[in-house]
A and B are shown apart, each in its own frame.
Chain A
Amino acid sequence: MEISFLLIIFLLLLLSAILAISTGSASIPPGDVVNALLGNADTLTKTIVIDLRLGRVLLAIGTGLALGMSGCVVQSIFQNPLAEPYILGISAGSVLGVLLSLVFLSSFEHLKYSAQLFSFIFALLTIVLVYRIASVGGTINPATLLLGGIAISALFSAITSYLIYTTFSKNIATILFWTMGGFWQANLVSGILVFVVALISGICMLLFWRELNALSLGDHFAMNVGVDVSRARTVLIALVAFSVSFAVSFTGIIGFVGLVVPHIARSIVGGEHKKLLVYSGLVGALLLLWADILARTLIYGEELPVGIITALLGVPFFLYLLFRRRRLC
């Protein structure tokens, strides 16, 4: 039963990807889309289908993979169903990084992808900072990590707000995009990069399935069954930080996915992490892919922010699973 369910989700993902590649503001008939993918089309169509649309699909899938699996990992490490990947300050660090790149690099306009670079570096720096704070006094425990994350997030948010106030008119466009998230900046290179990074991080997270199973039952339990708790936690958080920071530096802060997707996956396959991680990733990818399709097609000629769509899509499904579980009790 499990293999067939997995196959169904994979098939859904594939079909959704095909739909996504065939949708867009330039109307290209399906036959031409296939031809373009194979290389038999004029340059314009190939640019749209391969560089823009395929890039976008890969970016959406990669981000969904990263957010879904990272959400699962974070919820298990902190034994907290409300945890989500941005919990240790990644989002605060990313937004601040982007703003700083706009403020300080405005004279070096030639530095392409500077926003992405700064976003990534600052998100990682934030996690390192939080870790250093939490490790003062010896061992790191989850509560201190969370509190450190909250403190640093608050500090960075304040700095960000100040920068927004002083440079409002110049940088409003970038700020709005960053806080709402979207895939319109995707191209083939960024799409493949995010997809590959998410895939590799995800596989590395999967290698820790035993540790995650143990950690989700509490630190003491995990130590008693022989898990090196602090090492496992450090490596897993590093994987979360890396994959999410990387994806978010191309898409802006897409909220809600990391929080709800693991719960949806848990309702389908339960809490065993070998399956839970995989399904978290796949459901996340599916959700974001569909969020992107809808964001582009709901209103003719306009693209809605992805974060709105993920909430509109995810919440009803999440509530449905919640009620179904309660009725069985």
Chain B
Amino acid sequence: MKLSGKLLVLIAVLVCIAVVSTGYAIFVTQTLQNERETGKSTTVLDDMGRIVHIGKVERIISTSPSNTEILFAIGAGHLVVGVDNYSDYPSEAVNITKVGDFISLDVERIVSLQPDVVFAYYGQKAGIERLEALGISVVTFHAETLNDIYHDIQLAGYICGKTENATNLVAQLQQRVEDIRSKTQQLNDTQHPRVYYELWNNPYMSAGPGSYINDLIRIAGGTNIAANASKDYPILSEEFILSANPDIIITSSMNIDSPEKIMQRAGWQEINAVKNHSVYMIDDNLVSRPGPRIVEGLETLAKIIHPEIFGN
């Protein structure tokens, strides 16, 4: 193969065709974009710092179970026309059209549902980009603390015109949290049981700083043995767990090992929690979804960690 003149001409022609066809594709895409309605007068700042323009809000799609729960909790559930595959609460959400999950979003279905706004979640960058390119307003939510969750509920309320419902809900949630916090704050350090939360059994995955569970355990008056780990969901060594000698073990409903199986683990019989049969399971959705039910998760944890105060 020699780099003759004919060859260079051929390559030049090919590159021209490439440029022209790409330009045409961009032109077609732009035309389609211009044909779509504008008239989006409201401006909102979402949790990723993006400025989003929204028009009327009559059809909402949620691509995260926590967003779905928030929408129903503030009374906007009837506006939801599409949810992600994992949205299962409340029960009405189960029957709503599914639009995919965080691995692959069904962009076609979302487009054909003609949503006015999509409530996405942090980490769905690819999906957010694709939807925005099609002219769909996408508001991104991201909560790492209880205060963030209150903020998200207010944001959803503002967008859907349910501000009053949202404010009332937040006030209720804050009250319930305060009910628990005021009692556990009075405990001194020795009265905080050591808690090991097990998300997964192989390897032993727990919840550390930056996770909701860590915060909830603290508010509920316990000490998370993984509180000083390096990340939000660390993998703990068996040695560490055994030497930490937790007083209470709480396992997620997602865990393959049930509390009974945990208590049967070789070498674990000397752990306080196993000796006292203080091994419990909790619905994972109550402590991992950044929505209103996180307070329910907190109340459940409080009852487990301090039954003498909160009953069980």
Judge whether A207 and B28 touch: CB under 8 Å: no
Interface of A is mostly: helix
Interface membership of B130, Cβ < 8 A: yes
Q: Mark A144-175, 1 if CB is under 8 A from B, else 0.
A: 00000000000000000000011011111110
Judge whether A26 and B15 touch: CB under 8 Å: no
Interface membership of B17, Cβ < 8 A: yes
Q: Whole-angstrom distance between the alpha carbons of A199 and B15 in the complex?
A: 10
Judge whether A208 and B1 touch: CB under 8 Å: yes
Interfacial chain B residues near A193, Cβ < 8 Å? 22, 25
Judge whether A184 and B32 touch: CB under 8 Å: no
Q: Which residue in A115, A169, A200 is a CB contact (below 8 Å) of B18?
A: A200
Judge whether B109 and A25 touch: CB under 8 Å: yes
Q: What residue of chain A has the Cβ atom nearest to residue B14's Cβ? A: A200
- Most chain-A Cβ atoms within 10 A of its Cβ — which of B10, B14, B105, B123? B123
Interface membership of B45, Cβ < 8 A: no
Judge whether A188 and B123 touch: CB under 8 Å: no
Interface membership of B7, Cβ < 8 A: yes
Interfacial chain B residues near A171, Cβ < 8 Å? 123
Distance in angstroms from B309 CB to nearest chain A CB is: 31
B96-104, B161-169, B218-226, B253-261: which lies at the interface: B96-104
Q: Whole-angstrom distance between the alpha carbons of A200 and B21 in the complex?
A: 13
Judge whether B25 and A189 touch: CB under 8 Å: yes
List CB contacts (< 8 Å) of B101-128 with chain A.
102-109, 111-112, 114, 122-126
Known: A109-B50, A166-B231, A196-B17. A303 touches B126 (CB 8 A): no
Q: Which residue in B32, B105, B112 is a CB contact (below 8 Å) of A46?
A: B32
Q: Which residue in A25, A174, A177, A188 is a CB contact (below 8 Å) of B108?
A: A25
Q: Which residue in B11, B14, B18, B98 is a CB contact (below 8 Å) of A301?
A: B98
Known: A52-B111, A109-B49, A169-B232. A197 touches B104 (CB 8 A): no
Interface membership of A326, Cβ < 8 A: no
Distance in angstroms from A230 CB to nearest chain B CB is: 14
Distance in angstroms from B143 CB to nearest chain A CB is: 13
Q: Mark A107-128, 1 if CB is under 8 A from B, else 0.
A: 0011011010000000000000
Judge whether A177 and B126 touch: CB under 8 Å: yes
Interfacial chain A residues near B85, Cβ < 8 Å? 302
Judge whether B104 and A44 touch: CB under 8 Å: no
Interface membership of B36, Cβ < 8 A: yes
Judge whether B1 and A211 touch: CB under 8 Å: yes
Interfacial chain B residues near A177, Cβ < 8 Å? 103-104, 126
Judge whether A174 and B123 touch: CB under 8 Å: yes
Judge whether B114 and A182 touch: CB under 8 Å: no
Distance in angstroms from B228 CB to nearest chain A CB is: 16
Interface membership of B179, Cβ < 8 A: no
Judge whether B29 and A188 touch: CB under 8 Å: yes
Distance in angstroms from A174 CB to nearest chain B CB is: 7
Q: Whole-angstrom distance between the alpha carbons of A43 and B111 in the complex?
A: 11
Q: Which residue in A51, A173, A174, A182 is a CB contact (below 8 Å) of B134?
A: A51
Judge whether A44 and B112 touch: CB under 8 Å: yes
Interface membership of A204, Cβ < 8 A: yes
Q: Whole-angstrom distance between the alpha carbons of A188 and B31 in the complex?
A: 12
**Count of interface residues, chain B, beta-carbon cutoff 8 Å:** 49
Interfacial chain A residues near B28, Cβ < 8 Å? 50-51, 188
Interfacial chain A residues near B18, Cβ < 8 Å? 196-197, 200
Judge whether A174 and B98 touch: CB under 8 Å: no
Interfacial chain B residues near A184, Cβ < 8 Å? 100, 104-107
Q: Which residue in B11, B21, B24, B123 is a CB contact (below 8 Å) of A173?
A: B123
Q: Whole-angstrom distance between the alpha carbons of A298 and B41 in the complex?
A: 42
Q: Whole-angstrom distance between the alpha carbons of A182 and B102 in the complex?
A: 13
Known: A43-B35, A102-B125, A177-B103. A192 touches B21 (CB 8 A): yes
Q: Which residue in B26, B104, B112 is a CB contact (below 8 Å) of A48?
A: B112
Interfacial chain B residues near A263, Cβ < 8 Å? none
Judge whether A187 and B7 touch: CB under 8 Å: no
Interfacial chain B residues near A191, Cβ < 8 Å? 25
Q: What residue of chain A has the Cβ atom nearest to residue B46's Cβ? A: A109
Interface membership of A308, Cβ < 8 A: no
Known: A43-B35, A196-B21, A203-B14. A187 touches B108 (CB 8 A): no
Q: Which residue in B1, B7, B15, B106 is a CB contact (below 8 Å) of A200?
A: B15
Q: What residue of chain B has the Cβ atom nearest to residue A114's Cβ? A: B125
Judge whether A43 and B7 touch: CB under 8 Å: no
Distance in angstroms from A253 CB to nearest chain B CB is: 14
Interfacial chain A residues near B122, Cβ < 8 Å? 170
List CB contacts (< 8 Å) of B77-104 with chain A.
85, 98, 100, 102-104
Q: Mark B18-60, 1 if CB is under 8 A from A, else 0.
A: 1001101110110010011000000000001110000000000
Q: Whole-angstrom distance between the alpha carbons of A44 and B107 in the complex?
A: 12
Interface membership of B171, Cβ < 8 A: no
Interfacial chain A residues near B48, Cβ < 8 Å? 109
Distance in angstroms from B83 CB to nearest chain A CB is: 12
Q: Whole-angstrom distance between the alpha carbons of A204 and B100 in the complex?
A: 39
Question: Can you give 6 A-B contacts (C-beta < 8 A)?
Answer: A48-B112, A113-B129, A176-B103, A189-B25, A208-B1, A305-B103
For the complex of A and B, list the 7 residue pairs with the smallest distance between their C-beta atoms, beginning with the closest.
A26-B112, A173-B102, A192-B25, A196-B18, A25-B109, A43-B35, A184-B104
* Other contacts beyond A26-B112, A109-B50, A200-B18: 19, CB < 8 A: A25-B106, A44-B114, A47-B111, A52-B111, A102-B125, A115-B125, A173-B102, A176-B102, A180-B103, A185-B130, A187-B133, A188-B25, A188-B29, A193-B22, A196-B18, A203-B10, A210-B1, A211-B1, A303-B106
